[in-house]
Amino acid sequence: MKKKWLPHHKAKRKKKVLKEEENSNEINMCIFCHSKKKNTAFIHGKNAHLVSCYKCAKKSWKKHSACPICRFKVEKYVKVF
């Protein structure tokens, strides 16, 4: 398979777009396992932090019952669709 060469300025732009996509994917991943998407929010008062997958949220809440972001006591955790 032949490689397609791009002009220098287009190659830089393509790398930048790919890097932004990687960063976006990392931001959406669970902070505990890094393998599943965030889909569960820790709720405390009127605030909620979306930081993990459901499985990891359940484990974390059983161990600590504190929000992993701000350390406030978590009232509950809910799956977000």
User: Counting every residue, how long is the chain?
Assistant: 81
Tell me the average pLDDT across 62-80. 93
What stretches of the chain show up as alpha helix (H) in DSSP? 8-27, 54-63
Query: How far are the Cα atoms of 4, 18, 22, 27 from residue 14, in angstroms, in the given order?
Result: 13, 6, 13, 20
Q: What residue ranges define each of the domains in the chain, with the CATH number in brackets? A: 30-81 (3.30.40.10)
pTM: 0.67
What confidence category does residue 72 fall into, taking pLDDT thresholds of 50, 70 and 90?
very high
- pLDDT of res. 42: 96
